[in-house]
A and B are shown apart, each in its own frame.
Chain A
Amino acid sequence: MKYPPALSRLSFSWYSENAVATVIFAVLALLPAFLSGYVIYIVPQYLLYGVLAMSLALLWGVAGILSFGQAAFFALGAYAMGLAPHWTSSVDPFYLALLVSLLIGAVLAGVVGYFLFSAGVRDVYFVLVTLALSIMTEQITVSQSDITGGYNGMFIPRAQLSFGGVSLDLSADVPMYYTILPIVIGIYVLLRLVVASRFGKVLVGIRENEDRVLSLGFRTSLYKTAAFALSGAVAGLAGALYGTHASFVSPSLAGVLFSTQVVVWVAIGGRESLLGALLGAVGVAALSNYLTAITPEYWQLVVGIVFVIVIMAFRGGVAGALIRLGSRPPMEPERG
């Protein structure tokens, strides 16, 4: 039997988000033709923050699991990019770093998630453990200064890509821009497909009512572990790309402050929309950068006020408010 297209609020937001994302990515693809200099340098960095935010949106917005540990995976990915040239001379260290960052994020999140979720750790207790994960990662990067450079951080040369006989120098901003943008788009599309898949629907069910999903026969701990592992892998990959883009990584990248910033980006952008999370990160990071230049003493206060206003006015973030605005009003339940 073929069913008619869904008319629900969720499906409305699905199609409208696809349309908005297409326009935004098209504009981003054309940006270097019209702009140059600092904008073309900094936009890829904001987009990588956006990928980090999407990794949290997958976990928090889709599965209902809030994590303060995403910065840890991001930092480990960046350190992997910095350390990869020391590990091999036979394989291109850029590709090796990408692979290692994916694996380290997935494995660390998978192992931590498996034990926590299997033990029934939920809600605020999970938040606390992931917060501890960030703190531990920061402390380890400080204490292992022989490898990581400690508080001084680590310089990472920009990568030289090679495909067969062709090489691409990413030290210039435009090649770097056009290397990162397709990866960001690819990750966005991949995560959208995951959310729309049956796996994604089970995750939404877990967010809505985990006991009901259990009573349908699902081992929810495995689904949550898989979501956390995927989220860790995406955050790790974003971190590796950030490392080569920023050419520097320091322990603060894994710290509590940065972890909290990620949560703020997603809360402002809208945790139930991957695009909302992406744009939330880009918007807040750009605003913070601008405010740092014009009011270095008070920029955090301004960002804090924006955060409070958005959360008070729109609990689902800006994207949640736009989806509700664009949707038909909810139908009144009929009698019976």
Chain B
Amino acid sequence: MSDAGTLLAVHDLCVAYGRSQVLFNVGLTAPHRGGVAVLGRNGAGKTTLMKTIIGELRNKSGSVRFAGREITQLATEQRVRLGLGYVPQEHGVFARLSVRDNLTVGALGGRRHDGIERALAIFPKLGQRLGQTAGTLSGGERKMLAIGRALLGEPKLLLLDEPTEGVWVGVIDEIADRLRALAQEIAVVIVEQHLQLALSVADQAYVLDRGRVALVGPSAEIRDDPRLLQYLAP
């Protein structure tokens, strides 16, 4: 992949919690459009990688470049203003605010006046829940709200950490459809335990094993790689 076609470029990223190093020289790239999956068993460092890219965690060494700009030293809100969006694994919504107020706060960070309508167009189910406090939503609706709210900032790249965790199986397909459509418009980096979903959204996949990139390649090749199950097995 050429630099001109690369939106996000992570190089030799090392991250530690105190003395305990979690990521070792991790590299990852994402193009301007399309999906990138980050796979791995629990504790492989996937969430740490997401949090470091968005700026919630600081790296020991290595670099993160976004849209050709070095962003390693930037604060989270500066990275978001440059075009990064982030949907965390847990606590993605403001549980005691209504759905409308959650979206209003998200829209304040964006530049479009029709932000909330746009989120409702992507997830129409939220339109029926506008007055409801977010803490009373189902798991799937909370994820939809968190994704919809992140999109109000008009990100060029969306980082999604386990978007189907705690979601009823009947709603997973609905979220997957939206993510596949989204990946046609912007870059999507998705961390996901649901292997089939992740590989259906992503063109490129990275497999992390104990903080190191163990496999990387097109999703179709990764899916058929006999080593994949070895790296994902608990």
Contact = CB atoms under 8 A, between A and B. Distances in A.
Interface in A189-205: 198, 201-202, 204-205
Contacts of A336: 138-141, 167-168, 170-171
Interface in B52-105: 54, 56, 75-77, 80-81, 85-86, 88, 91-98, 100-101, 104-105
B132 to A, nearest CB: 6
Interface in A209-230: 209, 211-220
Interface stretch (A4-12, A92-100, A141-149): A4-12
A123 interface: no
A319 to B, nearest CB: 15
A216 B54 CA distance: 11
Interface string A297-336: 0000000000000000000000000000000001111111
A10 B134 CA distance: 11
A8 B130 CA distance: 9
B95 A208 contact: yes
A293 interface: no
Contacts of A212: 88, 91-94
A201 B101 CA distance: 7
Nearest to A202: B105
A228 B76 CA distance: 22
Interface string A116-135: 00000000000000000000
Interface string A79-113: 00000000000000000000000000000000000
B143 to A, nearest CB: 10
A19 interface: no
Interface residues of A, number: 34
Nearest to B87: A215
A333 B137 contact: yes
A81 to B, nearest CB: 38
A7 B77 CA distance: 32
B94 A4 contact: no
A317 to B, nearest CB: 16
B121 to A, nearest CB: 10
A30 interface: no
Contacts of A1: 116-117, 120
B214 interface: no
A5 to B, nearest CB: 7
Contact of B94 (A5, A198, A204, A217): A204
B150 A10 contact: no
A334 B98 CA distance: 16
B56 A215 contact: yes
A201 B88 contact: no
A141 B92 CA distance: 47
B146 to A, nearest CB: 9
B217 to A, nearest CB: 30
B80 A215 contact: yes
A292 to B, nearest CB: 38
A201 B109 contact: no
Contacts of B133: 8-10, 330
A208 B168 CA distance: 25
A7 B168 CA distance: 26
Interface of A: 1, 3-11, 198, 201-202, 204-205, 208-209, 211-220, 330-336
26 contacts: A1-B116, A6-B130, A7-B131, A8-B98, A10-B98, A10-B133, A11-B131, A198-B108, A201-B101, A201-B108, A208-B95, A208-B97, A212-B93, A214-B56, A214-B80, A215-B85, A215-B150, A216-B80, A216-B108, A217-B80, A335-B138, A335-B168, A335-B170, A336-B138, A336-B140, A336-B167
Shortest Cβ-Cβ A-B pairs, 9 listed: A217-B80, A217-B109, A336-B168, A6-B131, A7-B131, A336-B171, A336-B140, A8-B98, A208-B94
Given A204-B96, A333-B139, 19 more contacts: A3-B130, A8-B131, A10-B96, A198-B104, A198-B108, A201-B97, A201-B101, A202-B105, A208-B94, A208-B95, A213-B105, A214-B77, A216-B149, A216-B150, A216-B153, A217-B109, A217-B153, A330-B135, A334-B141
